[in-house]
Amino acid sequence: MNRLLKSRELWLALAILAVIVLVTLRFPRFSQPANLLTIFNDTSILMMLALGQMAVILTRSIDLSMASNLALTGMIVALTNAAFPFVPVPLLIAGCVVVGAALGAFNGVLVWKLNIPPIVVTLGTLTIFRGLAFVASGGTWVNASQMSADFIQLQRGMFLGLPILSWFAIVVALLVYVLMTRTPWGRAFYAIGVNPVAAVYTGIDVGRTKFLAFVLSGALSGLAGYLYVSKYVIASTESAGGYELTVVAACVIGGVSIAGGIGTVGGAILGALFLGVVNNALPVIGVSPFWQMAISGAAILLAVVLNASSERSKGRIILKKAEVAA
């Protein structure tokens, strides 16, 4: 019970609930299931990106190139679809994941083999990937009329009352959850985040593990690339502009420690949902959408203050004798 009270996920869930309740008091229709499901669906892409970012941040790295990766793979898949409408969409989605993973692997290799700090690498690829999206499209947009019906409709299909897009997020969340908690891979992410030196002594290859985290975040960015393009039915160079930091924000709000080693799948999802709910609530209560940015900024600062105070109490005295002696 004590642990539950201290859990970040619980408080975040309560905060989200509080926002929903407050808005509902004025606008009862806000909390109708249909609207809540729409919010969930609208936040799905951010959730998947946040999960990828979390894996990277756990290893004491950061991936600033996710949004650009999304824009590039989104553009590539949209162009492919426009040029070869007969290629089945599931194949295109698989292609997106592969392309995204390859872009992530590029980041990962530079971090792993050349030891360049991740923030420098992804700062570079952030501009490179988005620039390539422009080159690939020649600066034009791919719009609805050029996309095949399947391409647009696949993620809008309903299954058990939820759009396929939401199912994508749910399945990805489950897979990442299993990966993080039930596989050596996932545990290695945490291990090198908590203590890289100790991780080496337990036989974990730190560089390789970071590489895998970047491949994961790349693959999820690639998947998000297709979903983003087909959701908004447009592929442009500016797809998901500014998202690179929103994704980091979702993680931080979700309690993922930027210092590495701390973070949960539930936290990252709730962090993304919090941003989604707030952004959805603002227009409803008549606050200008121009407030959105300042509010998410304030939320990040509040979250990081809370993160810091919960992380600081982590220290534990292992040797009782030493304590007495001191």
Partner 1 sequence: MSDTTVTARQLPDRLDNPLKSAVLSWESLLVLVALGIFLANSFASPYFLNAWSLSDLTFNFTEKGLIALAMALVIITGEIDLSVASIIALASTLMGLALQYGADTPTLVAVGVGVGVLCGAFNGFLVTGLKLPSIVVTIGTMSLFRGVAFIILGDQSFKGYPKEFSWFGQGYVGWVISFELVLFLVAAVIFYVLLHRTVFGRQVFAIGNNATAARFSGVRVDRIKFVLFCLTGLMSGIAAVLLTARLGSTRPSIAEGFELDVVTMVVLGGVSILGGAGSIIGVVLAALIIGLVTFGLGLLNVPGIVMTIFTGSLLIVVIALPILWKMWKERRA
Using CB under 8 A as the criterion, which residues of the chain lie in contact with partner 1 when the complex forms?
A: 62, 110, 114-117, 119-121, 123-128, 130-132, 134-135, 139, 237, 245, 248-249, 252, 258-259, 288, 290-298, 300-301, 304-305, 308
Shortest Cβ 16–partner 1 spacing (Å): 19
Shortest Cβ 288–partner 1 spacing (Å): 6
Beta bridge partners, 143, equal: 234
88-99 as b/e, with b when 16 or more CB fall inside 10 Å?
A: ebeebbebbbeb
Shortest Cβ 13–partner 1 spacing (Å): 21
Dihedral (Cα; 228, 229, 234, 235), 10-degree rounding: 110
Closest CA to 246 of 228, 226, 219, 260: 228
- Residue 235, SS3 per DSSP: strand
Shortest Cβ 118–partner 1 spacing (Å): 9
Closest CA to 247 of 263, 269, 264, 225: 269
Shortest Cβ 235–partner 1 spacing (Å): 15
Question: Are 87 and 80 spatial neighbours (Cβ–Cβ below 8 Å)?
Answer: yes
Residue 175 vs 238, nearer CB to partner 1: 238
Residue 135 vs 174, nearer CB to partner 1: 135
Residue 28 vs 242, nearer CB to partner 1: 242
Residue 18 vs 308, nearer CB to partner 1: 308
Residue 90 vs 297, nearer CB to partner 1: 297
Question: Are 69 and 218 spatial neighbours (Cβ–Cβ below 8 Å)?
Answer: yes
